[in-house]
Chain A
Amino acid sequence: MSGEAARKACARLDLADLGFDRGAHMLVARALSGIGVGETLDVCGRAPALGVHLRAWCRQMGHPFQTLGDDSEIGGDIVARIARGDVEIKRWAGAQRAGHPDRDRDDAVSEHPAPRWGLAARGALVEDSAPAFSFGIDHKHVVWTEEAPRLYAQAAAAQWDPATAIPWDAPFDIPDDVEDAIVQVMTYLVENETAALLVPARFLAQMHPHFREILQLLAIQAADEARHIEVFTRRALLRREVLGLSTAGGQASLKTLVDEPDFALAMFLLSVLGEGTFLALLWFLHRNAPDPVTREVTKLAAQDEARHVAFGLAHLSRHAELDKTLHARLALAVEQRHEALMQTAGLNSEVFDALVLLAAGEFSPEAIERGYQAVMTLQQEMDVGRRKRLAKLGFDDAEAERLSALHTRNFM
């Protein structure tokens, strides 16, 4: 059928018994969308209040209600002639596509998505009178990385269930001193994981949802940390009823992370330096743990942390390529944090000693010496890892060495 013929064929609509109390408006709207503005449609039907409702509906929708076949709009068959108004066309005239869902297209992700795009799905057609949202993080160069979808898919596939992934009931027998050391380390880990949950969660809520893949990644990262908090708490309480110590110095260090308002700086300090350092710590705990539960919780957490570090490196590398001032700002952030924490104790001695004891396994002089040496080696590994990641971000060797040395003694 040609367009013209189709149009003529559509110029009459039979609603049979269907009334506006049961959805007739859908058929009328569809028929009207098939004709041009100003063209007419004859509507007939037998629903009792059809004429009354059609007149009221047309008035509300801005479609001229022209005439009625006979004088009465109630009872029996009615035929009404209505015309298509231009309200819907006007309503969408200024609408804008919010990018494109396919991120491989050049125009998919906007450099600076409009506040009015708000919560709209990327690629949706957004009405121009939509309210403007205040998303503070709304520049692509600050957040974006092509790695995000891959990392998100990996994270989604790697979600483990704390209830079943860990051998909570596995039998083990360790000295009381060593169990106390585990409880102290777990207590320390929980407060660090809590910082690692809050920081991405806070930025998530400020980010323009147009950057969907980044949002998803931050959300699943926060969920990872939620599980880490859970399993470390559960390991601490496995054989004890009270937790260990939380020191002023440790919290002061974490507070500088939680208080950092800039996305790039906070994610640099948290993910690249903090979680990067934690990777070495978690693998150290995995290797030296005296029981299967500690071995498993630290391994699973370390695997998740590797993704968090990878995301931080990926978006900050891209950001640094596009913004030549970023390196200087990142370096300054490390220096300022160092200044702020100079007067604090850094890693609490209870945590340090607990790590030594875990590596030693017992309180003999030889074992403690061995444990002490292992923790020294761990700190060197942490430093090597940080310098490697700083180099990946484009810092030269000397600067990487200097910044790594300034990193908080609290690890995170």
Chain B
Amino acid sequence: MAETLLMGAVAYDPKVVTIWDGFKVYFAEQGLDFDFVLYSNYERQVEAHFGGHFHVAWNSPLAWLQAERFAKRAGRAAHAIAMRDTDRDLTSVVIVRDDSTIKSVNDLAGKKVGVGAADSPQATLIPLLHLAEAGVTPHDDFEVVRFDVDLGKHGDHVGGERDAAKALLDGRVDAACLIDANHLGFSKEGTLPSGATRVLAQTKPYDHCNFTVLDGAIEDARIKRFRELLLGMSYDDPKVRPLLDLEGLKVWKDGRTEGYALLEAAIDRFGTIEDFLAGLGKRCM
């Protein structure tokens, strides 16, 4: 391993550069030599992580499961070492037009349901699992209409959900799936006019991103220092606050993995990452 602690992150938006450049400066001031590598998609990032190209990954929940499952198959171990407070206990909702005849989940049979990118936990996988468990199976019982803005970004880009919400208002789909925070945001900004839509279903809470390390890296002094610095970042520090605001959190929390149970059930049901794991197995084992 090189001297510098290297982090991998996915460039889902140009602001990602601003965010991690800011963290780099902050870590340098605290005496931690930190740098980052950006990937255009999570699959390439997960593969590079197993290839030893960097030490810690800022992973989407789906990328975490990709890493965790591949680690298991390869006899290795993945650890979630930290996450944002805002990564915990998210929910997603399925909404319909307020005047819709759809009153319950079962009424979705034969309808069109708008979702985000195929690999979006929050706007596709978890809400579709919720519907499936409630009795309507995607593709079999209702049509799934995808709003793929950027495949490989695991739904980090908000565009897919916005497109789905607009399609719902336009009548191109009968229901739309989105994360609760976007539902709040779209309602406040007027993308979803007050009273125009109704929440049909809400998923159980689940967790989102985390910092992932592999194998013995969890004992590495630089990783320990990195985690310690993250957890020590306080919102009352004027140097830290702009970074936290940019990255959308108030405080870093310990990593926890119980919150990925819903997504695990979803990918088991839909076979979302099987092809990726098989391909990765051929290349990396």
Contacts and interface: CB of A to CB of B under 8 A. Distances in A.
Contact of B187 (A49, A51, A55, A59): A49
Contacts of A87: 235, 250
Nearest to A93: B236
A89 B236 CA distance: 8
A85 B93 contact: no
Interface stretch (B48-56, B139-147, B237-245, B258-266): B237-245
A30 interface: no
Interface residues of B, number: 30
Interface stretch (A16-24, A117-125, A297-305, A386-394): A16-24
Give the interface residue-count category, chain A: 20 to 34
A112 interface: no
B89 A20 contact: no
Nearest to A87: B250
A179 interface: no
A105 interface: no
Interface in A87-108: 87, 89-91, 93-94
Interface in B26-40: none
Contact of A21 (B85, B194, B242): B194
Nearest to A53: B184
A59 B86 contact: yes
Contact of B238 (A57, A72, A75, A129): A129
A52 B194 contact: no
Contacts of B180: 52-53, 55-56
A21 B192 contact: yes
Given A22-B194, A72-B202, A73-B202, A52 B238 contact: no
B198 A48 contact: yes
A74 interface: yes
Contacts of A74: 93, 199-202
A91 B235 contact: yes
A59 B89 contact: yes
Nearest to B192: A21
Contact of A91 (B88, B183, B241): B241
A90 B198 CA distance: 36
A12 B99 CA distance: 32
Contacts, number: 79
Interface string B189-217: 00010110011111000000000000000
Contact of A52 (B93, B235, B239): B93
Contacts of B235: 62, 87, 90-91
Contacts of B183: 49, 52-53, 56
Interface in A351-400: none
A129 B241 contact: yes
B131 interface: no
B181 interface: yes
B184 A56 contact: yes
Interface in A33-79: 48-49, 51-53, 55-57, 59-60, 62, 65, 72-75
Given A59-B85, A65-B89, A85 B250 contact: yes
Contacts of A65: 89
Contacts of B192: 21
B224 interface: no
A86 to B, nearest CB: 8
Nearest to A50: B199
Give the one of B183, B200, B236 with max A CB within 10 A: B236
Contacts of B93: 49, 52, 74
B188 interface: yes
A72 B105 CA distance: 14
A128 interface: yes
Interface in B50-96: 85-86, 88-91, 93
Given A20-B184, A21-B188, A90 B234 contact: yes
B181 A56 contact: yes
Interface string A1-24: 000000000000000000111100
Contacts of B5: none
B109 interface: no
B251 interface: yes
B167 to A, nearest CB: 19
Contacts of B85: 59, 62
Interface string B249-279: 0110000000000000000000000000000
Contacts of A75: 199
B199 A62 contact: no
Give the one of B85, B90, B184, B235 with max A CB within 10 A: B184
Contacts of B90: 59
Nearest to B90: A59
Interface in A117-159: 127-129
A140 B18 CA distance: 36
A375 to B, nearest CB: 63
A21 B236 contact: no
A239 to B, nearest CB: 60
Given A20-B184, A59-B85, A49 B199 contact: yes
Nearest to A57: B184
Contacts of A93: 236
A154 to B, nearest CB: 41
Contacts of A73: 91, 202
B233 to A, nearest CB: 11
B184 A52 contact: yes
Interface in A284-306: none
Given A49-B183, A49-B199, A55 B91 contact: yes
Closest CB pairs A-B (n = 10) = A90-B236, A21-B187, A129-B238, A128-B238, A62-B250, A90-B235, A56-B180, A93-B236, A56-B184, A56-B181
Interface of B: 85-86, 88-91, 93, 180-181, 183-184, 187-188, 192, 194-195, 198-202, 234-236, 238-239, 241-242, 250-251
Given A49-B187, A52-B183, A90-B236, 14 more contacts: A20-B187, A21-B192, A48-B198, A56-B180, A56-B183, A60-B181, A60-B184, A62-B235, A65-B89, A75-B199, A85-B250, A90-B235, A129-B238, A129-B242
8 contacts: A49-B199, A52-B93, A53-B187, A55-B180, A60-B184, A74-B93, A74-B199, A91-B235
